[in-house]
Amino acid sequence: MPGVLGESFFKSIGPEQQIVQIFKHVLGSADQHRVVADIGMNSGYYTMLSASMGARVISFELQSYCVKLVTELLRQRNPHLVPNVNIVNVGLGTPQVVSVPNNTCSGTFGQGGVPKVGGPVAGINTCIMDPNQVLPIWSDKVFTLVKIDTEGAEADILSHLLPLIAAGRIKHLVTELIPHQWPNRGSSMEAGLATLEKVTSYSNRMLLLHDGKPFQFAKEKVTIPFITGGQGNVYEKFSLADLVKDRADQKVGCNLWWTFD
């Protein structure tokens, strides 16, 4: 499958190891009404992991080729998971129509900016929708866990998720942050930081996961038994402004985990 991230990737990369453990912990300890939103599904690893643990999953993916590959993988190799999975071929964020490639499931798609219809990337036209128009319709229950991995579009997406967070509809949120991409993906450094601070104001805990590029700002290492050990450090008590500046200056990303229980 060209451009698809395999299981070995998730077992070998520090932050992905930690995210896998978060999924297993959260879904393993939640009640039977477990609901997951996988925003930026890509290869479908977290979609299938969640479904295999009995959760109902709604997955959003802008790239049509990813949707095709994951749908085939579910039907041909994991048919028992199909009843638990709903894949929607749209992106989330500020509504617009975009053009996506139709022959790759690249994990770096979109890092060059919002792909314009009729632009240099030839492909299939699809749409980006406001999460508030999609998620409440799909389920009237709270979301046990929401994961966002959208190569820089997360600031825009999070700004649209704020009403759901404020209403207590999301219990856990794991998000990849790539601040230097925010101006290319429907947000800005200032707006993105303000959104992160608002999300944090609703949470009862925010943790910064391990990353291969060292964090060069004040923070406090914390022990979380089920995700520490050989998988890298976890941090809290840091400034979001320092985090955003550090990641933007280094042109790298990181992952945050908020809990709202």
In a domain, 219, yes or no: yes
What the block records as the tokens of 253 is 């990303």
Residue 2 lies in a domain: no
- Give dist(CA 173, CA 114) in Å, integer: 24
Residue 161 makes CB contacts below 8 A (sequence gap 6+) with: 131, 146, 170, 173, 199
pLDDT (0 to 100) of residue 232: 84
Residue 138 forms part of a structural domain: yes
Q: Does residue 93 belong to any structural domain of this protein?
A: yes
Q: Would you state the pLDDT for residue 14?
A: 63
User: Does the residue 204 lie in any domain?
Assistant: yes
Residue 96 lies in a domain: yes
Find tokens 């022990």 and name the residue.
223
- pLDDT beneath 70: ranges in the chain: 1-14, 30, 107-122, 138-140, 228-230
Question: Roughly what angle, to the nearest 10 degrees, separates helices 64-77 and 45-52?
Answer: 40
The three-class DSSP label of residue 96 is strand
**Cα–Cα distance for residue pair 92/81, rounded to 1 Å:** 24
200 in a structural domain: yes
**In-domain check, residue 1:** no
CATH code for position 55? 3.40.50.150
Residues of the domain holding 252? 7-259
pLDDT at 58: 95
Question: What is the reported pLDDT for 3?
Answer: 35
Structural domain total, the chain? 1
